[in-house]
Chain A
Amino acid sequence: MNKIDIKNGVVDMSHGGGGKASSQLIEQIFFKYFANEMLCTADDQASFDIPAGRMSISTDSHVISPLIFPGGDIGSLSVHGTLNDVSMSGAKPLYMSAGFILEEGLKLSLLEKIVKSMGQASVDAGVPIITGDTKVVEKGHGDGIFINTTAIGIIPEGLDIGGDKAQIGDKIIISGSIGDHGTAIMSSRENLEFDTTIKSDSAALHHLIADMVQVVPDIHCLRDPTRGGLATTLNEFSRQSNVGIDIIEQKIPVKTSVKSACELLGLDPMYIANEGKLICLVPANKVDELLKLMQSHKLGKDSKIIGEVVAEHKKMVTMQTQLGGRRIVDYLTGDQLPRIC
C-alpha cells in the first residue's frame, strides 16, 4: 500500500469514501496510534466478553475550537471527557469507540498530531479504542474535525451513585482548582489573546475514582463540572435531589492566573468549564477519610471541602461570599461572554 503524504497532504472526499484512500488513512494514522488487537482486525465491529455486573455507557461529541490549546487538544480531550463521564457512575471504563467527521482540506499533519495525542491518552488511561468510523464532509461544512467518543464500563457492586442521591448533611468536595480549562481555551481564541501560563486541566479521572469508591463506597454523587462550570453542576445536584446547597467562596480553589484572566475579561470562574476535576457529595462521617485519600492522589492533591447539602432553600445553591455576604449561585444561561460593562 502506498504511503500517504502526511507532511504535505490534506483530507479530501476520497478519504471518507470507503475505498483505497480511506483504508490508507485508517491504517497509516488511526491504526498506527490506536494500536490494539481488536481494532486492527479491521472488522466493522469489536466483540468482547465482559464480566457480569451493571454496565455504564456514555457518549460525547467534541467540537472545540481551537483544536490545539495550552495543556491539550481535541484528541486527548475527547478521550478524557468521555472516560470521565462514564466513570462518574463509579464505573471502571473498559473500552472506547471513536467516530470522526473530517473537513475536506484538514491538514494530515494536524490530523496525525490529534490522533497521536488521542492514542497516548488512551494508553495512559489503560482503555483501548477498539472500534471507529471516519467520514469526510465538504469544505465549509465542518470546523476542521469533530470527534465523537463512546465509553463503556462496569460498576463495582455496592455502589449507588447518582445526581438524585444527595442527602441533607452531605459534604461537598471539589478535586482541585476551577476554571483552568475554559480560561486556557479563551486565551487562545482570536481577538482575546492574552499571555498566560494557564493550561487546560484535561485529564482522565477514573483511576482516582476507582480508589475513591473502594475506600468510601457510599459516595452519593459524582460529576465533572464541564460546560457551565462548578455553579451549574451544583445546581443540577440540588434540583435532581431536591435539596439546598450552601458553599463558601473562600474555600473554592482558584489559581491566581485564572482569577487574573477572569478579572480582565469580566468572567466568573464558577461558570467556567473544567475537564479534569470532579465534584463529590459524601456523608459527613466519611468526608475526612475521602479527602485524605483524594489529596494523596496526583489528580486530587488540591481537593477541598467547599460546602454542604442543607434542608433549606431546596433546589437552590447559595454561597457565603468572600466579603461575608450571601448570594444565590444560579445556573449559567447562554455563554459567558467577555464584557465591557
Chain B
Amino acid sequence: MKYIEEFRDNKLAKVITANIKKECQDRQYNIMEFCGGHTHAIFRYGVQNLMPDNVKYIHGPGCPVCVLPINRLDSIIDLIKQENVILCTYGDMLRVPGSDKNSLMKIKAAGFDIKMVYSAMDALKIATENPNKEVVFFGIGFETTTPPTAVLIKMAKQLKIKNLSIYCNHVLTPSAMQSILDMKVEKGETPVMIDGFLGPSHVSSIIGTTPYEFVPKKYHKPIVIAGFEPLDVMQSTLMIIRQLNEGRCEVENEYTRVVKKEGNKKAQQLVAKYLDLRGTFAWRGLGYVKNSALKIKDEYSQYDAEKKFNMTESNTDDIKGCECAAVLRGLISPPECKLYKKICTPENPMGACMVSSEGACAAHYSYGGLLE
C-alpha cells in the first residue's frame, strides 16, 4: 500500500531512534500529542517504548468523541426516544456512555432505529429511502470531519430533501489547544509542563498551518504538524527536540505530502457557507470554551436538528470519581484515576476516555500495560 507501508519501515525507525538518542540533551522533553490518531499510533507501534526515558508523550484531548459532554449525548438519546427518528452515526459514538449508562448501542438494542454509517452521504441515501421518517445525522468530529457535514447540507438543499437534519457537534482544534495552554492550575494539581506539541495531521490538511501560529507567538512553544504514521510521529518528535535544543520556536510542517500552508480552501469555503461559530461550547474536561464549536447557520435552520425538534440541553455532570477531565488535559495519566481498571474498563466504561479506542485510557489499557 503506497504512502502507508514506507512510513512504517523499521529500518528507518532505527535511524530516527538513533538520531533522537544522539540529539537528546540532559533535560526533559514533554510532548503533547494532541490527536487521538497520534495516541493510537504511539501505542499501537510501541513508539514510547523506543524513546529515551527523558522523552515523554502526554495525551491531549484530541478525540472528538472523548470531549463531547454527556448532556449533548443525553439530548440526542432523548430525541430518538421521543420523536422516533432514524439516527445516522459514525461508529465511534455507539458505545459512548451517557447518563444512566445509556448509550446509542443500548438504545439500538431496545429497538430504536440507529444506523451506523461510514460517510455523511449515507445519511442522504437513508433519508431518500425513508421519506416518511425523520432522519438525523449525528455530526461529530474536528475540522477534518466538518466539511463532509457541510456537503451533506448542500446536497440536501439541492435535492430538496425535507426529512433530514443534522445534530451539529463539530469542534475546533486551535481553540482547544489554546484552552489547554491557558488553563489555570487548580489547588492540589501538579502543573503540566508541556514543552511542545505534535500538531494534528488531518485537521491541518483542511485548515492549513497558519491557525497554529499563536502557539509559538503567544505561548513560546514549538509545534510540528505531524503525519499519523509512526515514522511521522518519530521524525516530528525529533524536530521538536531540535527546536527546543536550538532555542527556536515555530510552526513546522513534517506532513508536507498532505498539508499545505493554506490548507484546503474549497473545504474551508463550504464550511463557512453553511456553518457558524458558536459563542461557547462545553468540552468534557475543559469546561466551556469560547469560539470552539460550530452550529448550522440560521438560513439553513431547516437542517438543524436542534431547531427543528426544539432540543433542550440538560445539565448533567460527569460520573462521580471519573477523572476524564484531568486525563484529557494531560494532568494525570490513566492509572492515576481511581476508577481506572477497578471500575472503569473498556467493557464497562465510565467516561469517554475509556470508550473511544483513541481515548488515553482505552489506549493505555489495551497497549500500555507494559509501561506500568
Contact = CB atoms under 8 A, between A and B. Distances in A.
A–B contact with Cβ pairs below 8 Å: the answer is yes
B13 A337 contact: no
Given A256-B1, A321-B46, A337-B91, A330 B358 contact: no
Interface residues of B, number: 47
Contacts of B369: 316, 328, 330
A336 to B, nearest CB: 9
A327 B367 contact: yes
Given A191-B122, A334-B95, A339-B357, A327 B145 contact: no
Contact of B358 (A268, A327, A341): A341
Contact of A341 (B64, B115, B367): B64
B370 A328 contact: yes
A214 to B, nearest CB: 39
B162 interface: no
Contacts of B19: none
Nearest to B95: A334
A322 B6 CA distance: 12
Interface in A263-281: 263, 265, 268
Interface in A298-341: 313, 316, 318, 320-328, 330, 333-334, 337-341
A259 interface: yes
B45 interface: yes
Contacts of A326: 46, 49, 370
Given A339-B92, A341-B64, A327 B347 contact: no
B176 to A, nearest CB: 14
Interface stretch (B36-44, B257-265, B278-286, B293-301): B36-44
A325 B92 contact: no
A323 B230 contact: yes
A338 B13 contact: no
A52 interface: no
Interface in B134-182: 140-141, 145
B335 interface: no
Interface in B183-226: none
Contacts of A268: 44
Contact of B347 (A318, A334, A337, A341): A334
Contacts of A263: 1, 4
Contact of B346 (A322, A323, A334): A334
Contact of B46 (A265, A323, A333): A323
B90 A327 contact: no
B1 A339 contact: no
Nearest to B348: A333
Interface string B76-119: 00000000000000111011000000000000000000011110
Contacts of A330: 365-367, 369
A316 to B, nearest CB: 7
| Residue in B64, B356, B369 whose Cβ sees the most chain A Cβ within 10 Å | B369
A249 B231 CA distance: 17
| Residue in A192, A324, A337, A341 whose Cβ sees the most chain B Cβ within 10 Å | A341
A326 B37 CA distance: 18
A260 interface: yes
B133 to A, nearest CB: 16
B63 interface: yes
Given A323-B45, A339-B92, 19 more contacts: A191-B115, A191-B118, A192-B118, A260-B1, A320-B46, A323-B8, A324-B14, A324-B17, A325-B47, A326-B370, A328-B366, A328-B370, A333-B347, A334-B346, A337-B116, A338-B116, A338-B118, A341-B64, A341-B90
27 contacts: A192-B118, A256-B1, A259-B1, A263-B4, A316-B369, A323-B8, A323-B13, A323-B46, A323-B230, A324-B14, A324-B17, A324-B46, A324-B50, A326-B49, A327-B43, A327-B44, A330-B367, A337-B95, A339-B358, A340-B90, A340-B91, A340-B92, A341-B36, A341-B37, A341-B63, A341-B92, A341-B356
